[in-house]
């Protein structure tokens, strides 16, 4: 096996998804702790006497104790190079998560044992299912009162429409949580909580049929465990790795990320069952990750990650070949050769210059303003384009105005840069100027982030006026004469940042009117970059 093939084979790139407060950021940090990437874990909530989560870098995230942007984190463990895409849990930032999932080969789904499958988990799962992404489930917070494990498994199957196969099984919960039974090895890992940021877990492993186990967990819990093992072995879904890889069967582990219990066993199981980088579809067919010709696509853009740098980073998923610092590549959308000279790997806002990276890795490249989400980068000798990343329709709209005419340049730059990141969508009336902009967002909290970032990163204050529009549709047949269309009086004609024409509607009736009265009009719910 060549060094290149070995390096790619050892790459694992996954997104970590959950409903807010299920423990996703805590689990991410414990992975980093085991990989030696950090020495002490932070706490998720931003309290005065606690550290902030290492993957939450934006000031507003630290204030609110939530993640509103996707972080990219890399660490090495047990011979593997692991790329974690830590996504926002808050539903108002789900579009960032959708785009991030495009860069992942698999997903780790974190579920709160007391709450089960929650709304945001359901929404994110649908995106994984659309792409047939393998999902590995970690049922968290077993050290607190929890739902019955059978009920949790049934809920995952019914709500998410996929089979589950427990890899380990919990013994009790809450104050009576005794540990987990590992089904393959037939051993019990006893629960010894470790609070705070230490990774040392006093792991007490006992054979299932060891008489000492009965003494330690008690006769009642041992009898229940015997019944559970018999039931799981007799009636549970069989483990089938092919079905896991097709996204039809989810391996399930139980544990407690905050107390460091079950995290390392879960990581071992994940590495045993997950896949190396997978092919990505292009207009020239699937691109083999083991092909030595370099290629990548941009799935995220972030400006001002560090106030001292005032820069803009384009995050690229390497899809084939090897990156070397200073290499010449072809930017398909820009139709020109460029040099990738300033590239970083990131740990939140800490950045490290890298000399090389391989298929499956995520790199942050300095962006002078030439990249957009969905762009393809490849070698000049083999040109192609990857499938675009969808832009989803915003659900909330507001008109924003700059309150200081002397800061017009900063206002335009700030709004355009934040829009290019994909956090917001901006529209202007056809023939209108950037003095007055309509902003569309998926979740209303994004308006607050926009206002906060314009003030703190661009020194611009804005006035925001909510608008009553509820729906947006892209016009697919762009040659159509917009002003000849028969539309309801409250329908607005606008264009987006790329000059594409759209219609804003106050209600479904307006959409029906537009399609009924203009038979030639072709409308779409999303736009591909």
Q: Is 86 part of any known ligand binding site?
A: yes
Instruction: Decide: 348 and 306 in contact? Cβ < 8 Å.
Output: no
Q: Residue 528, SS3?
A: strand
What is the rounded CA–CA span in Å between residue 441 and residue 448? 11
Instruction: Decide: 100 and 300 in contact? Cβ < 8 Å.
Output: yes
What are the residues whose beta carbons fall under 8 Å from the beta carbon of 130, sequence distance 6 or more? none
Other CB atoms closer than 10 Å to residue 336's CB: what's the count? 10
Q: Is 251 part of any known ligand binding site?
A: no
What is the rounded CA–CA span in Å between residue 220 and residue 365? 58
Q: Is 22 part of any known ligand binding site?
A: yes
- The 8-class DSSP code of residue 529 comes to -
Q: Is 289 part of any known ligand binding site?
A: no
CA-CA-CA-CA dihedral for 452, 454, 460, 465, to nearest 10 = -70
- The 8-class DSSP code of residue 35 comes to T
What are the residues whose beta carbons fall under 8 Å from the beta carbon of 15, sequence distance 6 or more? 84, 85, 86, 87, 97, 100, 101, 103, 104, 106, 107, 108
Q: Is 88 part of any known ligand binding site?
A: yes
Q: Is 23 part of any known ligand binding site?
A: yes
Q: Is 141 part of any known ligand binding site?
A: yes
Sheet of 187-190, strand order: 168-171, 179-182, 187-190, 204-207
Q: Is 21 part of any known ligand binding site?
A: yes
Q: Is 18 part of any known ligand binding site?
A: yes
What is the rounded CA–CA span in Å between residue 525 and residue 12? 33
Beta strands in 240-279, from DSSP E residues, in sequence order:
249-254
Other CB atoms closer than 10 Å to residue 326's CB: what's the count? 10
* 508 Cα distance to chain centroid: 31
Q: Is 20 part of any known ligand binding site?
A: yes
Q: Is 269 part of any known ligand binding site?
A: no
b/e per residue, 10-39, with b = 16+ CB within 10 A? Answer: bbbbbbbbbbbbbbbbbbbbbbbbbbebbe
What is the rounded CA–CA span in Å between residue 337 and residue 480? 35
Q: Is 383 part of any known ligand binding site?
A: no
Instruction: Decide: 53 and 139 in contact? Cβ < 8 Å.
Output: no
Smallest Cα–Cα separation from 296: which of 316, 324, 314? 316
Q: Is 87 part of any known ligand binding site?
A: yes
Smallest Cα–Cα separation from 201: which of 33, 74, 54? 33
Known binding residues for GTP: 18-25, 86-90, 140-143
Known binding residues: 18-25, 86-90, 140-143
């Amino acid at each position: 096996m060549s060094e290149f093939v070995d390096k790619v084979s050892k790459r694992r790139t996954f997104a970590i998804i959950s409903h807010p407060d299920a423990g996703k950021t805590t689990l991410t940090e414990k992975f980093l702790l085991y990989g030696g990437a950090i020495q002490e874990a932070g706490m998720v909530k931003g309290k005065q006497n606690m550290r902030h989560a290492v993957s939450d870098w934006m000031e507003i995230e630290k204030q609110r104790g939530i993640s509103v942007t996707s972080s990219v984190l890399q660490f090495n463990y047990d011979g593997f190079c692991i790329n974690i895409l830590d996504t926002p849990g808050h539903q108002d930032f789900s579009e960032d998560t959708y785009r991030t999932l495009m860069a992942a080969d698999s997903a780790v789904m974190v579920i709160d044992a007391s709450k089960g499958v929650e709304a945001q988990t359901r929404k994110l799962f649908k995106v994984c299912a659309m792409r047939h992404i393998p999902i590995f489930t970690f049922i968290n917070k077993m050290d607190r009162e929890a739902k019955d494990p059978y009920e949790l498994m049934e809920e995952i199957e019914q709500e998410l429409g996929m089979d589950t196969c427990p890899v380990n099984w919990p013994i009790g919960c809450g104050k009576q949580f005794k540990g987990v039974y590992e089904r393959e090895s037939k051993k019990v890992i006893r629960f010894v909580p470790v609070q705070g940021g230490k990774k040392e877990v006093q792991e007490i492993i006992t054979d299932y049929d060891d008489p000492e186990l009965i003494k330690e967990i008690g006769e009642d819990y041992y009898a229940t465990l015997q019944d559970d093992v018999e039931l799981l072995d007799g009636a549970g879904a069989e483990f089938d790795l092919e079905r896991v890889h097709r996204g039809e069967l989810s391996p399930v582990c139980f544990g407690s990320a905050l107390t460091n219990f079950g995290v390392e066993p879960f990581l071992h199981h994940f590495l045993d069952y997950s896949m190396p980088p997978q092919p990505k579809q292009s207009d020239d067919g699937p691109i083999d990750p083991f092909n030595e010709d370099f290629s990548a696509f941009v799935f995220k853009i972030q400006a001002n990650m560090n106030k001292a740098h005032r820069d803009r980073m384009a995050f690229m998923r390497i899809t084939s070949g090897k990156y070397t610092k200073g290499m010449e590549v072809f930017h398909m959308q820009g139709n020109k050769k460029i040099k990738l000279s300033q590239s970083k790997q990131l740990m939140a806002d800490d950045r490290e210059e890298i000399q090389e990276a391989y298929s499956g890795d995520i790199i942050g490249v300095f962006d002078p303003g030439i990249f957009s989400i969905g762009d393809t980068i490849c070698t000049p000798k083999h040109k192609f384009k990857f499938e675009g990343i969808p832009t989803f329709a915003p659900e909330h709209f507001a008109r924003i105005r700059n309150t200081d005419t002397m800061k017009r340049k900063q206002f335009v730059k700030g709004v355009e840069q934040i829009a290019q990141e994909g956090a917001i969508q901006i529209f202007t009336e056809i023939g209108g100027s950037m003095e007055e902009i309509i902003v569309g967002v998926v979740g209303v909290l994004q308006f607050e982030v926009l206002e906060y970032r314009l003030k703190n990163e661009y020194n611009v204050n804005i006035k925001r006026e909510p608008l009553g529009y509820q729906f947006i549709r892209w016009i697919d047949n762009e040659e159509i004469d917009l002003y000849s269309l028969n539309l309801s009086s409250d329908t607005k004609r606008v264009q987006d940042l790329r000059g594409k024409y759209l219609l804003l509607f106050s209600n479904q009736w307006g959409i029906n009117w537009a399609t009924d009265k203009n038979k030639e009009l072709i409308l779409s719910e999303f736009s591909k970059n």
